[in-house]
Structures are given as C-alpha cells and as structure tokens.
Chains A and B, each alone.
Chain A
Amino acid sequence: MSGKASALLLAPARWRRWEYALWAAIWAAPIVFTSHAALINEIAIFGLFALSLDLILGYTGIVSLGHAAFFGVGGYAAALFAKHVMPDPLVGLAVGTVLAAVLGALTSPMIVRGTDLTRLMVTMGVALVLLELANKFDSITGGADGLPGVMMGPLLGQFTFDLGARVASFYSLAVLFVAFLILRRVVNSPLGLSLKALRDNRLRVMAIGLSVNFRLALIYTLAAALAGAAGALSAQTTGSATLDLLEFHRSADVMLALVLGGTGWLWGGPIGAIAFSVLRDLLSSFTPQYWTFWIGLFLVVLMLVGRERLFRPWTWFKRSGS
C-alpha cells in the first residue's frame, strides 16, 4: 500500500491532544466533584452502554431497539453471581460480560437476515422476551420488585464500595477506559474498515468476497459483551438488579444519547451520555412530570433538521442540501 493511502487510513487511529485532555478531565471528575460521584458512576456506565451501541449502530449500521437485553442479562447475571456464588466484583463483571456475549452470539443469526424492520422487530422481540421471562420467573429474579441486597466484596481485595460511590465511579471509569481502548483498536483495524464498508454498501462488500455474516455476528457479540459489562457494573455499583434494566425505555434512551453524541466516532457514546444526562436533569428541573414531552420535541426537531447538523453549528442557519 502506498505511503499516502496508509497514512490516510491510519490518521483516525492517532490520539489527538484534545482526547488526552478530555480523558484527563474525565479521570479528574470523581476527585473534583466528590459529591457527585454517584452521578459520575451512572454516566460512566451509560457511556459504556452507548459505546457498545455505537459499535453496531454507528460502525455497522444495525438499528437495534433491544440493546437493553444485553444490559439486563449482564446486570442480572452479575447480581445473581454475587448473591449465590462469589461477591468478587471483577469475577462478577467477567461473568456478566461472558453471558451477554453468549446471548449476542446466539441471537446474531437473527439480525443478519431481513430488512431494517425485521431487525428492529427481532431485536425488540428478544428484549421483550427476556423482560417477560425475568418477570415470570420471579423466584429467581425477584420479579417486579427486583433483586435487592447485592453485596459486593472489595475491589481487587482492597477497595470496598462505599456509600459515597467514589470507588464505584473509578471502577466504572476504568472499565469504560479499557473498553474505549479496545474499541479504538478494533475500529481502526482492517476489521473496522470492513465494518464501515458494510454499513455503507453491503452488496459491494459481498461482491469483493468478504464474509458479511461472520463480521456481523462478531461485532454483534462484541457489542453485546460490552453492553453486558455495563449492565454488570450497574448491578454491582447500585447493589440491585430490577426489571428496569431490560425495559424498552433503556434501549430508546441509549439510542437517543448516542445520536446526541454522534454515531460513528467512538466519542459519541461517552459524550452522548454526558449530554443526555445534562439534558434530562435540565428538563426535569423545569417540568418534573412532563419532561418526556420536551425530549420528544427535541427529537422531532433534531430529525427534521438533520442529525449531523447538531455538530456543525455553521450549518444551522443555512438551507439544507448543502
């Protein structure tokens, strides 16, 4: 490959200065805002969840309204593991991740076939099936009341989870950082390039002889694993697992957060999580009961105007079509 072409392809992989600065700021946040550590923890988990969705939505073009299925599986797996087997957080995290990955691998044959609508329905269907199962087998999952009293052991044998959530926030941020690094490596590899090609023109990818189904299954499993990790973190740091982990609004919220942050570049997940939390807090302080109306209005206007324009303020006052 010529020098110029390889330089062009490798350019996105290089860390830019603002990325270092942003990560430094993120890591400093639990130290500076100690009273908001629980919120930081929640945003970090949400950011990881959105990052996993970006992998399938932004890089591969799979519209999934049931990503909460993996979040919930990871959460319940980690909670049940901590309750019945072993309270070590890292092992529980691994268990949640692996189980969600298994579910992703099992359901990946369903998403490779059919139209966008079929994929939408199948992903939503899987999440709904899991929600129903969790609801009905309440002897295991606690049903609508949830699974309380998940006591976690100390992290790495030393740091106990305190009520102030400082350890929890560092824990979640660490997992988010590791996931970010892994994904950065994946999307800037030849596999990542082939995924972007898949998103843009599946027929062409098939024509050049790349295996579409394998790639889709692989990336769906990876995204499921990361979503399961996020769910496990959620169960471990909040000490409970409820049906809310599997609900539709989780899938819709994470999709909205990702759209806010921007799909197709890895930062969309974390930035979108921050933006969504800020937006939700702002709206809830104005109208605590009807804030969903303003979220809906924001969505409608955003989609009418065009998603990409959110990040290009110079296009806001131009007519579309440019």
Chain B
Amino acid sequence: MLTLLFDGIAYGMLLFVLSLGLAVTMGLMNFINLAHGAFAMAGGYILVVLMQKAGWPFLACLPAAFLITALAGALLERTLYRPMYGKPHLDQVLFSIGLTLMAVASVDYIMGSSQQNIQLPDWLRQRFEFGSGATMLGMGAYRLFIVATCVAMALGLQAILSGTRFGSRLRAAVDDPRVAAGLGIPVNRVFLLTFAVGSGLAGLGGALGADIFGLDPNFPLKYMVYFLIVCAVGGTSSITGPLVAALVLGIADVFGKYYVPKLGAFIVYALMIAILLWRPQGLFSREGKK
C-alpha cells in the first residue's frame, strides 16, 4: 500500500506541474485556456524528437522542452491570446478548443497517430525497495526523479513568488489587475512572462510524464479534464491549492484504479463533483465573488 501511496504522490506531483500554468493563467487573466494540454503534448513530442532523432540525453531534453514550449507560449500569447482576454468565457472556451483541435490534427499529421515509445535512460529504470510484506515501499527511480524534480520546482516557484519583485507583482496582478496597473505594474509584461512560464511548465511536465501518461496525438483531449479538475478544486489564487488538489487527485486515482478497477476514473470525477458542491470556489480560493 505504501508503494501505491508513493505512486499516487508521483502522479499527483506530475499533475501539479502540468496544471500550475493553467491555474495561474486562470487566476491571473481570468482566461479558461483549454489548450493547455496541447502545450504539455508539445513538450512530450519535443522530448521524443530530441531523444530519438537528435540523440540528446534524457536530462538535456527536459530544459529544452521547457524552453521551447515557453517560447511557443510567449509567441501565442502575444499574437492570439491577448485579443481574447476581455471576451466572455464561452468565446475563450471555444477558442481554446479550436487551438487544441488544430494542435491535435497537426501532431497527427506530422508525427503519426500511434503512441510514442520513450526510451528512458538506464539509471532511471532501477527500482529501490524498503521493508517487506504489506508495508513494503517500492520506488522506481523514474518516479523518484519525478517527485524530486517537481518538489524542487514547487519550492523554487514558491520562492520566486514570495521572494522576488516579479513574484510580488504577479501576486498583485492576480489579486486586482486594475489596481496593479494603476500602480505602474506592467501588467501585460507580467501576463506574457507568466503565460510563457506556465506553458513551459506544461511542456516540462509533458516531457517528464510522457512515459506514465502515454504520448499520442489525443493526449490533450484525454488529460485536459484532469488539469481542469486540479484547477477547479484547488482554486486559482495560490500555489498550495493546486498542489494539494493534484496530490489528492493523484492518490485517489491510483488507489481507485487499483482497489476498485470496475469504477476506474469514476471515483476522481465523483470526488471532484463532491468537492465543488461543498466549496464551489475551490478548496483554497480566497475569492467569493465572480
């Protein structure tokens, strides 16, 4: 059972990194970006292309996935997303669905529709085991690496958010964009940078988790629900909210699929509906309006 817990934590941390960009975009720009899964898919495919076609080592592909997706995110934000900020949510939803469809079809055309195989390096294929019997804790090196990377990133992001000037500007802009702009904070630049970093994180998460999630052109459509659940349940005004929500989601999903495979993902969706009924603003949201 401890192994399951560890697997659930790894899955949850991965979901957290993937959903963080979406949560911040929603909290900051009030923009429902359903195309976020497409950035994650892009990161995964960048990893595949760099590792298989260019022969790069696994560790070098991860920052590359982050940077390339971040650049793509910045470009898209500046050109396509910015005119959509003030529009009603329905328009934003349809716009991002359109982007996702385009991304899915393009990847299908360029890379083919079969699932991609990720060749993990040997040092990530090891497995460590502690204890025995019912309390055995078996940790694969790959999942350990994922947990370590995500924890490091969460700590780093929290440090940036609370320790740097950019972090306080971001928090101000999330709380009240109009007053922030009135104080002279360059809100547009904050948006651009945040969107780029959020997309980069999605790309990194997609590259990290490509082996766990399975990488095919339908990746955004399959997993977008999970990212949205994390954001809706965790609230969009902090980092800890999506973190807790992602961990709960990951653990619930892994446990549910192991103990009650007949119900599968039903548990996760039912849990989400229950939590949203109890606290419609999300578990950790500070806002009570909108």
Task: Provide 27 A-B residue pairs closer than 8 Å at the C-beta atoms, listed in order of the A residue.
Answer: A110-B273, A114-B276, A115-B280, A116-B89, A117-B231, A120-B93, A120-B228, A122-B273, A122-B277, A125-B273, A125-B276, A128-B225, A129-B269, A248-B221, A289-B108, A290-B105, A290-B108, A290-B109, A293-B101, A293-B106, A296-B102, A299-B98, A300-B80, A300-B99, A302-B94, A303-B91, A303-B98
Q: How many residues of A contact B (CB 8 A)?
A: 42
Pairwise interchain contact A255-B264, C-beta atoms closer than 8 A = no
Query: Complex formed: what's the CA distance from A63 to B98 in Å?
Result: 16
Interface string of B77-104 (1 = CB under 8 A from A): 0001001100101111111011111111
For chain B, residues 149 to 190, give those with C-beta under 8 angstroms from any C-beta of chain A. Answer: none
Nearest to A296 among chain B residues (CB) is B101
**Residues in chain A near residue B98, CB distance under 8 A:** 295-300, 302-303
Q: Decide yes or no whether B290 CB sits under 8 A from chain A.
A: yes
Q: A65 to B232: give the CA distance in the assembly, Å.
A: 15
Residue numbers in A under 8 Å from B53 (CB-CB): none
Q: Pick the contact of A133: B102, B236, B266, B281 (CB < 8 A).
A: B266
Whether B265 sits at the interface, judged by CB under 8 Å, is: yes
Interface 1/0s, chain A 122-158, versus B by CB < 8 A?
Answer: 1011101100110110000000000000000000000
Which residues from chain B contact A292 at a C-beta distance below 8 Å? 101, 104-105
B92: chain A residues at CB < 8 Å are: 303
B199 nearest CB across to chain A (Å) = 17
A118→B280 contact, CB < 8 A: yes
Residues from chain B with Cβ under 8 Å of A135 in the complex: 264
- Residue tally, chain B, CB below 8 Å to A: 47
Q: Is the interface of B mostly helix, strand, loop or mixed?
A: helix
Determine if A307 is an interface residue (Cβ-Cβ < 8 Å): yes
A115 lies within 8 A of B95 (CB): no
Contact with B along A297-315 (1 / 0, CB 8 A): 1111011100100000000
A272-322, CB < 8 A from B: 289-290, 292-293, 295-300, 302-304, 307
Q: Which residue of the partner chain B has the closest CB to A109?
A: B277
> In the assembled complex, how far is the CB of residue B239 from the closest CB belonging to chain A, in whole angstroms?
18
A113 contacts partner chain B, Cβ-Cβ < 8 Å: yes
CB A98 to nearest CB in B, in angstroms, measures: 23
* Alpha-carbon separation in the docked complex, A133 to B270 (Å): 11
Contacts of B266 in A (CB 8 A): 129, 132-133, 136
Does chain A have a CB within 8 A of B32?
Answer: yes
* Chain A interface main SS type: helix
Contact A303 B26 (CB under 8 A): no
Contact A304:B105 (CB < 8 A) given known A65-B93, A117-B232, A299-B94: no
A105 within 8 A of B: no
A197 within 8 A of B: no
| Interface flag for B134 (CB, 8 Å) | no
CB distance from A165 to the nearest CB of B (A): 30
A259 at the interface (CB under 8 A from B): yes
> A218 at interface (Cβ–Cβ under 8 A)?
no
CA distance A27 to B244 in the complex (A): 56
Residue in contact with B102 in the complex, picked from A63, A129, A136, A293, CB distance below 8 Å = A293
The 10 closest A-B pairs by CB, nearest first: A299-B98, A114-B280, A296-B101, A293-B105, A296-B102, A303-B95, A300-B98, A121-B232, A132-B266, A113-B280
Return chain B residues, CB-CB under 8 Å to A241.
none
A302 to B231, CA, bound (A): 27
Report B-chain residues with C-beta under 8 Å of the C-beta of A307: 91
Q: Is A110 in contact with B277, judged by CB distance below 8 angstroms?
A: yes
B229 within 8 A of A: yes
Contact present for A136 and B262 (CB under 8 Å): yes
**Other A-B pairs, 12, CB within 8 Å; known A117-B32, A295-B98, A299-B98:** A110-B276, A117-B236, A118-B232, A118-B281, A120-B232, A125-B273, A132-B263, A136-B262, A292-B101, A298-B98, A303-B91, A303-B95
Q: A114-B280, A255-B94 are in contact. Are A132 and B84 (CB under 8 A)?
A: no
Bound CA span A300–B265, Å: 31
Report yes or no: A136 in contact with B225, Cβ–Cβ below 8 A. no
Closest chain A residue, CB of each to CB of B282: A118
- Determine whether the beta carbon of A118 is less than 8 Å from that of B276: yes
